[in-house]
Amino acid sequence: MNITMINGSPKVNKNNSQYFLSEVEQLIQKDNKVFTFKVDNPSKYPDALNSILNCDRLVIAFPLYVDGIPSHLVHFLEECEKFLKTQNKKPIPVYAIVNCGFYEGKHNHLAIQMVEHWCKKVNFIWVQGVGIGAGEMFGSLTSIPLDKGPKKKLGITLKELSRNILNDNINLDNPDKNNIFISPNFPSFLYKFMGNYQWNPQAKSNGLTKSDILKK
């Protein structure tokens, strides 16, 4: 089976979307060919589009931007739609992994719906979306194995997603019920405290004080 993964992160180097894709790849790569493309520049589109044309599964990962899909990824999906109209491409199953900085993974639901609507436009088969809260936290814990500590739910979810990617018999009667939204196995108040704490040293490094941050 040929599986194409699209990394929709705008970050040049290390990014959370690549981390999640790499974890899934380790779970599905046996006896399968996995091709990953980062589409942050139009010069990278041709290889990614040709891979989609020849794949059996498509997995799209990206960070949440203003409750939606990052603009550069929207542009790629639009170009993909134009490209597919000129090809005789069979419908393929599509999966999405969306992460955000909010603690609650449910904040990603609108972005996942956008990918679902895109699938309808290009006549692909929408299967499942995974909304991950505290994405930056997970991305910084790469040394911790899946299923352990704060990554317990993440491990369970990515393993279920991987099984579904490899399974031709998933229930498609109501795809919205297939979507999964998770938060880390970590207290929300500590996550918010640690996130807010970071603002003070960042402000100081830019010549600002705590009172400057709190001004309205």
Any idea where the domains of the chain sit in the sequence? 2-185, 189-216
Q: What percent of the chain has pLDDT over 90?
A: 70
Q: How far apart are CA 78 and CA 118, in angstroms?
A: 9
C-alpha separations of 15 from 38, 75, 190 in Å = 11, 20, 23
Q: What percent of the chain has pLDDT over 70?
A: 96
197 has a pLDDT exceeding 80: no
Fold of 2-185: Rossmann fold (3.40.50)
Q: How far apart are CA 134 and CA 202, in angstroms?
A: 19
Residue 154's CB is within 10 A of a number of other CB atoms, namely 25
User: What per-residue confidence (pLDDT) applies to 189?
Assistant: 83
94 class by beta-carbon count within 10 Å (0-12 exposed, 13-18 middle, 19+ buried):
buried
Crossing angle of the two packed helices 109-122 and 71-85, in degrees rounded to 10? 20
170 has a pLDDT exceeding 70: no
User: What per-residue confidence (pLDDT) applies to 192?
Assistant: 83
88 has a pLDDT exceeding 90: no
Lowest average pLDDT, out of 52-56, 170-174, 184-188, 196-200, goes to 170-174
User: What per-residue confidence (pLDDT) applies to 171?
Assistant: 64
User: What per-residue confidence (pLDDT) applies to 147?
Assistant: 85
Q: What is the pTM of this model?
A: 0.90
172 has a pLDDT exceeding 80: no
Cβ distance 151 to 185 under 8 Å?
yes
Cβ distance 132 to 184 under 8 Å?
no
Lowest average pLDDT, out of 112-116, 133-137, 147-151, 165-169, goes to 165-169
> Residue 191: which pLDDT band, with cuts at 50, 70 and 90?
confident
Using DSSP, state whether 131 is helix, strand or coil: strand
